[in-house]
């Protein structure tokens, strides 16, 4: 994990270029404290801050030269060992044991098609000094970030917003569409859009091509999930296949020349990773890190965490419980590193988790992001599952499932009926229509954007309503925001966070399974539970309560150590409907928690604008 930055700018002389690239790297110094390097070829500047994980020698520092190619890389290609062997058999030679050299060699041998052979997370830039071309790529799920500004003549890029601020091409005007998406839906971006009009994100699973003398970037998608087709075979065979793919993924994610640890929440996903890591390396001491809160209404997952530790005594647990004073003191720093106005309070818990991991000298940690999105882990998946049963002319089965799910949640007849009505809504509307309704109606619409069309387009993909829902969770509505926070919080403390559930081979396999193998009755993530039976502690495997990364932020913190966020001067925030916003905050201060999440988003957005200098947003 590292930080990359650079540009093509024909208007700067050598001294000015050196100063600009140096300032860009300094703004993201936290991403790579182990080494810093730059490269210059006329108008082309490349910069790199290194966090040394694989091949710790200076020979693997970046920018890395491979013939006519210069490479800067953020992330890890986990199958670099196998690729290196294949490339050596084709006659290529290596001088380091780094995955960066494998990327360069793979590109020299296979060209842009090399990315289809990679398994991992990456955002890299390859400059071909002979052809005067840039080849840029981002991993399939967008685990690693890449942002750029292009004005047709100049091209600037970096791993975070921060790298681009202060450059000659940065314009601080906000993207009103993204502000609205953030407030109404909680997304931190969409497609190539960011909170700034001028900054673009390279979308997940995409390559960018740029000729130095041309200046116009061309973006092409290189991969997508295939939906709609279902695998033949028995459930037992599918469970065995899932277990094998998951074991391979965890094994590859453990590859490192420094110590690897894990986050452990007590939930199914992180427990699965830790348990499999212990299966692969039995008896090896392995550090885990967990956040908990004590108090009325707070969630404390330590009983389930202890189930994992009791089954695998080699785990060395570390517990972190941020107090109110710590939250108040850390908020500004956490928000600065987030780059965006955070739309929920769980990012603070993750911030303290990564801080604790770094304090123990850990540079690599495994985390469980991604599983909920494609394995049907969220309870609102059931709206689409029930809708699919209705579309199959099975109203009795649809109602029975609705009843059973709501009984498990302790919901009464009224909520059961509402759940069923929402499922009917999912039957009659596609994902675009459903999210458009949520965007406009779930919360009071707070922006002065009445003429603006719905600022997203969720296309229909082949397959069931459930398949469509899960597909968009992965690529548009949920996972991109979670990965954004994962990256920023971990890199704030120079920690590389790896997510084994996002091995693309595992995700492709699950999308070819019938819904019943993902969500069976009231059991979510069914195949994960069955495949890891005996590996997971029984109490964790049979958990049916979905907690998520629960924090006391939207109520306790916002009324306690972060209450100052509610003192908002709306006069400088013209993008917002002042009357609606003032009423929302006034009602919240009076004790109305019905829209606490929206109050949080509004308060944090206003503070972020002030912190970032957007007085007239």
CATH number of 235-373+479-541: 3.40.50.620
In Å, how far are 438, 455, 457, 576, 601 from 450, measured between CA atoms? 15, 12, 18, 11, 20
* β strands within 29-183, DSSP E: 35-41, 44-50, 64-66, 69-77, 120-128, 133-138, 147-150, 155-158
pLDDT at res. 453: 81
Helix (H, G, I), strand (E, B) or coil at 72: strand
pLDDT confidence of residue 80? 98
Which letter, b or e, does each residue of 36-57 get, where b requires 16 or more Cβ atoms within 10 Å of its Cβ?
A: bbbbbeebbbbbbbbbbbbbee
Q: Helix H segments across 220-290?
A: 235-253, 268-280
- Per-residue pLDDT at 549: 55
Tell me the β-bridge partners of 316.
Answer: 287
The pLDDT value given to residue 528: 98
Which pLDDT score is estimated for 259?
A: 97
pLDDT at 300: 86
Look at strands 260-263 and 147-150 and give their pairing.
unpaired
Cβ atoms 292, 304 nearer than 8 A: no
Residues shown for the chain: 617
| The pair of three-digit structure tokens given for residue 199, joined into one six-digit string | 């900054």
The residue written with tokens 């110094």 in the block is: 29
Spelled out in words, what is the top-level CATH class assigned to the domain 2-221? alpha beta
Q: What is the pLDDT of residue 228?
A: 87
Among residues 345, 341, 368, the alpha carbon closest in space to that of 269 is found at 368
Strand, helix or coil at 98?
coil
Q: What is the pLDDT of residues 440-461, one digit of tens each?
A: 999 999 998 866 689 999 999 9
**Among 187, 225, 116, 275, which Cα is nearest to 463's?**
225
| H or E, element range at 287 | strand 286-291
Residues of the chain with pLDDT under 50: 615
CB-based burial, 314-332: b 16+ in 10 Å, e otherwise: ebeebebbbeeeebbebbe
What is the C-alpha to C-alpha distance for residues 488 and 31, in angstroms, rounded to an integer? Answer: 9
Note the pLDDT of residue 614.
64
Handedness of CA 537, 541, 542, 546 (dihedral sign): positive
Q: Where are the domains of the chain?
A: 2-221, 235-373+479-541, 379-475, 553-612
């Amino acid at each position: 994990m590292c930080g990359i930055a650079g540009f093509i700018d024909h208007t700067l002389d050598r001294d000015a270029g050196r100063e600009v690239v140096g300032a860009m790297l300094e703004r993201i110094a936290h991403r790579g404290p182990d080494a810093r390097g730059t490269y210059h070829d006329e108008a082309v500047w490349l910069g790199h801050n290194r966090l040394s994980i694989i091949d710790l020698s200076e020979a693997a520092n970046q920018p890395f030269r491979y013939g006519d190619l210069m490479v800067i890389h953020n992330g890890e290609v986990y199958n670099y060992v196998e690729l290196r062997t294949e490339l050596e058999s084709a006659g290529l030679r290596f001088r380091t044991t780094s995955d960066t050299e494998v990327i360069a060699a793979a590109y020299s041998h296979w060209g842009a098609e090399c990315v289809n052979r990679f398994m991992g997370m990456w955002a890299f830039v390859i400059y071909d000094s002979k052809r005067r071309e840039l080849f840029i790529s981002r991993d399939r799920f967008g685990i690693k970030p890449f942002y750029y500004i292009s004005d047709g003549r100049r091209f600037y890029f970096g791993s975070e917003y921060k790298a681009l601020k202060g450059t000659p091409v940065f314009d601080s005007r906000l993207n009103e569409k993204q502000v609205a998406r953030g407030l109404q839906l909680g997304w931190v971006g969409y497609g190539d859009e960011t909170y700034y009009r001028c900054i673009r994100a390279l979308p997940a699973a995409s390559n960018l091509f740029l000729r130095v003398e041309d200046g116009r970037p061309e973006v092409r998608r290189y991969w997508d999930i295939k939906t709609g087709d279902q695998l033949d075979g028995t459930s037992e065979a599918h469970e065995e296949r899932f277990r094998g793919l998951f074991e391979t993924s965890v094994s590859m994610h453990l590859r490192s020349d420094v110590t690897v640890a894990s986050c452990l929440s007590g939930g199914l996903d992180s427990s699965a990773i830790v348990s499999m890591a212990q299966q692969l390396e039995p008896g090896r001491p392995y550090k885990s890190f967990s956040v908990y809160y004590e108090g009325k209404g707070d969630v404390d997952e330590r009983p389930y965490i202890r189930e994992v530790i009791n089954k695998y005594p080699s785990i060395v647990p570390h517990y972190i419980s941020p107090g109110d004073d710590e939250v108040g003191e850390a908020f500004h720093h956490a928000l600065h590193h987030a780059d965006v106005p955070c739309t929920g309070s769980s990012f603070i818990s993750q911030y303290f988790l990564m801080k604790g991991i770094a304090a123990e000298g850990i540079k690599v940690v495994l985390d469980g992001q991604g599983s909920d999105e494609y394995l049907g882990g969220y309870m609102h998946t059931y709206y689409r599952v029930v809708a699919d049963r209705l579309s199959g002319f099975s109203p009795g089965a649809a109602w029975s499932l609705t009843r059973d799910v709501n009984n498990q949640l302790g919901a009464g007849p009224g909520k059961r009926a509402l759940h069923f009505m929402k499922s009917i809504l999912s039957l009659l509307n596609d994902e675009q229509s459903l999210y458009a309704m949520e965007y406009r109606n779930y919360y009071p619409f707070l922006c002065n954007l009445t003429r603006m069309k719905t600022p997203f387009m969720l296309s229909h993909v082949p397959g069931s309503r459930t398949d469509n829902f899960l597909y968009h969770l992965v690529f548009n509505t949920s996972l991109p925001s979670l990965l954004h926070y994962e990256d920023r919080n971990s890199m704030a403390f120079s920690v590389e966070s790896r997510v084994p559930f996002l091995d693309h081979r595992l995700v492709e396999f699950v999308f070819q399974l019938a819904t019943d193998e993902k969500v069976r009755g009231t059991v979510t993530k069914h195949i994960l539970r069955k495949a890891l039976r005996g590996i997971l502690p029984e109490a964790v495997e049979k958990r049916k309560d979905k907690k998520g990364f629960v924090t006391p932020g939207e109520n306790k913190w916002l009324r306690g150590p972060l209450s100052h966020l509610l003192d908002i001067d709306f006069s400088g925030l013209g993008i917002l409907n002042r009357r609606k916003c003032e009423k929302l905050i006034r009602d919240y201060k009076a004790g109305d928690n019905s829209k606490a999440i929206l109050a949080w988003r509004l308060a944090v957005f206003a503070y972020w604008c002030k912190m970032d200098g957007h007085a007239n947003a």
